[in-house]
Structure 1
């Protein structure tokens, strides 16, 4: 089969990149070959790389089989792929799936639990990794899929799943008794999707953002107030939950100084500024944990239905908050990576790369 390619970044320097050529792998019995077709690139993908060791994200797509040394890492992406070769009953060539993909031309998977909704990758090296990342949803069996919303799904579905489960965990815990929820990096997609889910369902929502993003963040309409990081001293001193999506130590310090013992929960969610914040926070949110709880509470179908309902509500409005910046090919993927890594992507922009 035709040659393939792989984009990798330096594990100790995420701005160091390489595009490596290689042969498309041959399949063993029980495997299928996916051609990576269309992916998104956001700050979320940079987070995967920053936490590549701590959260084992580097392990999903090891560089060794692709002819790359251990100094390189493959930052995971979300997007669509097509089955181009299959030795697995029930998984037909031409099937289009959505899931966790490498920054590469192809991916070999070992499909398990194949049904109308898709399959799980049961490859040995992924067996001990968080199971939600191993699910590939067939577009023909996915209630959230619409062909005209592929760009939105590429950019927002993984973020929105995190946002949906974050909002659900907060509500599931009666908002920890707080009267105010403060979200940092409020202009980020994960933050405002969570705010969209939480708005009007309890505590007052306050978004913290940089001065340059105040106007955009206020225009979304999903926060009750939007405040510059410089103005944290103006926040009301009331029982508050801090959902930290920025990881900025100065923000945490300022909030603790302002709120004191009225800061009832300090939860690390993400890190848009590439500073690991788990140790500084009191607790860490990890979406698969709440997902497992709700899978037991509601069943898989119940969770899928609730997510789909929430996604459809969000998709109706988010298109107006987004400008898709389209690219094509591995070079465009590298350019998008470097732009997002440097923090040069405006909050309204989302990168979608056709490979």
Structure 2
């Protein structure tokens, strides 16, 4: 038997956690692969998975029998430790969607870039989260940048697709893009993608994060939340989920606010405000894969990713953690908003 630990959280109160221990059978079924999770990133994006877990289905990826509790998905690297497929021998390193757990069994269908988990419970879920990349054939993989990849690649995919959707729609007629939680990784990744696109970028952040956000050099203007933004045709990208901030902007900008898009939920509650449109990255991914083809999309994303990583290492330091207890500590810090935007958390299992 193989000993496994799993961190579960209360689905109604994300601050309540427990580390569960169980045993995995070493016997694998047809096409099954046993992964040992090795290195993951944990950011406010993972909080969003918990906040809207029922809306999008995030709780369904890694189900547990514990009543009322679930497993938060993470992005990171894992190693094959046992396999029924010759193409995925032990030692194969993969990147993808992983649980807060030491091990994961997947039912793999091979693809040109790795494999897809075809487990029955994952079949109806968004396909982008079911695909795993084998690092030896991943053109974006750099063994020296694993920390940047686990932290930024899933966030930057959202940034890239969000910026692309805005450009694809001519910014809905706006001349300014207002971005809340401007110090957050997905927000400043979006700003980096939008640089030079002909729109003015205004970053909103807390007073304590103004200096850091200005130091990024990505925004034309950085303002604390209590400052008034200029009245001009604007798109609002909401990475905070703050109802008060949304109302303030709508009152201030009126008809000049031509589009309100919700992306992140660092305030830990889902917005049901009809004035805001929820951005779901897989929808834009499907559109662009159809427009450009898979290879064309990969080339465009790869170029943007390389441009981003060339700078990202200078913006944020990496804080290293290890094991389930430190994973829980980081989770609690991110939930409480106590993390420093100038550092990012990587956990090895």
Task: Give the TM-score band, short-chain normalised.
Answer: over 0.9
Report if aligned partners of 1:268, 1:278 keep a CA contact under 8 Å in 2.
no
2:16 alignment partner, SS class:
strand
1:204 matched residue in structure 2: 200
Taking the aligned partners of 2:299 and 2:89, their CA distance within structure 1 comes to: 26
Taking the aligned partners of 2:98 and 2:269, their CA distance within structure 1 comes to: 24
**Mapping of residues 38-53 of structure 1, within 5 Å:** 38-53=39-54
2:223 alignment partner, SS class:
strand
Which has the larger displacement, 302-311 or 277-286?
A: 277-286
TM-score by length of 2: 0.98
2:21 matched residue in structure 1: 21
1:79 matched residue in structure 2: 76
2:213 matched residue in structure 1: 217
Tell me which of 90, 101, 107 is aligned to 1:93: 90
Structure 1: which 5+ residue stretches go unaligned? none
Tell me which of 230, 235, 253 is aligned to 1:236: 230
1:63 alignment partner, SS class:
coil
Report if aligned partners of 1:32, 1:111 keep a CA contact under 8 Å in 2.
yes
Task: Write the deviation string for residues 33-91 of structure 1: whole angstroms up to 9, x where unpaired.
Answer: 11100011111111101111111100000012xxxx22111000000001111112422
TM-score by length of 1: 0.96
1:2 shift after superposition: 2.9
1:278 shift after superposition: 4.5
1:283 shift after superposition: 1.1
Task: Write the deviation string for residues 142-186 of structure 1: whole angstroms up to 9, x where unpaired.
Answer: 111100000000100100000000001001111111000001110
Structure 2: which 5+ residue stretches go unaligned? none
Q: CA RMSD in A?
A: 1.0
Taking the aligned partners of 2:67 and 2:298, their CA distance within structure 1 comes to: 37
Distance 1:326 1:281, change over 3 A: farther
Tell me which of 132, 145, 152 is aligned to 2:141: 145
Distance 1:312 1:335, change over 3 A: same
Alignment pair present for 1:316 and 2:310: yes
1:222 alignment partner, SS class:
coil
Alignment pair present for 1:126 and 2:127: no
Distance 1:247 1:281, change over 3 A: farther
1:15 alignment partner, SS class:
coil
1:349 shift after superposition: 1.4
Taking the aligned partners of 1:93 and 1:70, their CA distance within structure 2 comes to: 34
Taking the aligned partners of 2:303 and 2:158, their CA distance within structure 1 comes to: 15
Aligned residues: 348
2:339 alignment partner, SS class:
coil
Tell me which of 244, 263, 274 is aligned to 2:268: 274
Report if aligned partners of 1:268, 1:281 keep a CA contact under 8 Å in 2.
no
Alignment pair present for 1:154 and 2:150: yes
Alignment pair present for 1:113 and 2:107: no
1:302 shift after superposition: 1.1
Taking the aligned partners of 2:275 and 2:157, their CA distance within structure 1 comes to: 22
Taking the aligned partners of 2:268 and 2:6, their CA distance within structure 1 comes to: 24
Taking the aligned partners of 1:126 and 1:272, their CA distance within structure 2 comes to: 26
Report if aligned partners of 2:155, 2:186 keep a CA contact under 8 Å in 1.
yes
Tell me which of 262, 282, 287 is aligned to 2:256: 262
Taking the aligned partners of 1:281 and 1:17, their CA distance within structure 2 comes to: 34
**Mapping of residues 295-306 of structure 1, within 5 Å:** 295-306=289-300
Alignment pair present for 1:283 and 2:284: no
1:289 alignment partner, SS class:
helix
Alignment pair present for 1:251 and 2:210: no
Report if aligned partners of 2:128, 2:282 keep a CA contact under 8 Å in 1.
yes
1:188 matched residue in structure 2: 184
Report if aligned partners of 2:47, 2:265 keep a CA contact under 8 Å in 1.
no
